[in-house]
Structure 1
Amino acid sequence: MMIDHIAIWVEDLEKMREFYCKYFDGVSNQKYENKIKGFESYFISFDGATRIELMKRKDIEERIYKEILGLAHLAFKVGSKEKVNELTEIFRKDGYKIIGEPRTTGDGYYESVILDPEGNRIELVG
């Protein structure tokens, strides 16, 4: 078995689509819309099988900005320590918040942690 996709409720569907396509070489499908439910979504595909589904619905508005049980972060394997460092600096230059500077973790990963445009934690893993 394998994970097909991970879904994320978003506030700004177009901004989030642009972010994941621009920085992670994602490829988006065409927008799906269900006007009756007020639902819109994109699937973003990456080099590999797992996709992200970005979803927006008019009646889902509240965001909790504290640690909660459930999905904690998304991790993107970028290929090397150098690429982690390079991408971290690109995100910093482009105004994204770096919440974990590049480092080797206790379990042996070389990573940094950034926030996407809506505050979701993204790990860049070498």
Structure 2
Amino acid sequence: MIDHMTLRVRDVARSIDFYAKALAPLGYVAKAHHEPTIGFGVDDGTAHSDFYVSPAAETGEEQAGAVCPVTHIAFLAPSREAVHAFYEAALAAGGRDNGAPGPRPYHPGYYSAFVLDPDGNNVEAVVDWAHGGAVSEGVETE
């Protein structure tokens, strides 16, 4: 079981703005403030964050043109509607399309959307009924 992860980014302020908007439809908010690192988590009344955004280099070590490794991260969405809302919010926040909402061929019931964040990281919101995801009202599963 994963407790938390940290994504290294080139421009922390830009990425915090992007993730605050893109993850809002999934119930995520900025919670842990360890500047310049910011932790996001589900707005559940606790201080626990499971996703952190942090500089690619330690403070004072940033270099122009520094390479930032590209990562893939998938956030569990509660419904197909939330997948669509994530996708629209992420695009509106400056993300780039990397796969519109829809079923995927990975296995039956896998429904997701992909966007690239400001650093080119592949960010996904997914409902996966094969692994216990919730079914939205009035929406058939694949």
Instruction: Give the TM-score normalised by structure 2.
Output: 0.64
Q: Which amino acid in 2 is paired with 1:18?
A: D
Offset at 1:101? 1.6
Aligned to 1:102: 101
Structure 2 unaligned segments of length 5 or more: list them. 128-142
Aligned to 1:41: 37
Aligned to 1:83: 82
Report % sequence identity: 26
Aligned to 1:9: 8
Query: 2:118 and 2:95 mapped to 1: Cα distance?
Result: 7
CA RMSD in angstroms, aligned pairs only:
2.4
Query: 1:46 and 1:64 mapped to 2: Cα distance?
Result: 26
Aligned to 1:112: 113
SS of the residue aligned with 2:75? strand
Offset at 1:4? 1.7
Structure 1 unaligned segments of length 5 or more: list them. 33-39, 66-71
Asked if 1 retains the 8 angstrom alpha-carbon contact of 2:77 and 2:125, the reply is yes
Instruction: Give the TM-score normalised by structure 1.
Output: 0.71
Asked if 1 retains the 8 angstrom alpha-carbon contact of 2:111 and 2:126, the reply is yes
CA offsets 1:75-114 (integer angstroms, 9 cap, x no match):
1122212222233233334442111122211213101111
Aligned to 2:30: 27
SS of the residue aligned with 1:53? strand
Asked if 1 retains the 8 angstrom alpha-carbon contact of 2:68 and 2:119, the reply is no
Asked if 2 retains the 8 angstrom alpha-carbon contact of 1:17 and 1:28, the reply is no
Quick one: structure 1 residues 14 and 120, their matched pair in 2 at CA, closer, same or farther if it must change by over 3 Å?
Answer: same
Aligned to 1:36: none
Asked if 2 retains the 8 angstrom alpha-carbon contact of 1:99 and 1:115, the reply is yes
CA offsets 1:47-96 (integer angstroms, 9 cap, x no match):
5766122222243521356xxxxxx5111122212222233233334442
Query: 1:28 and 1:80 mapped to 2: Cα distance?
Result: 23
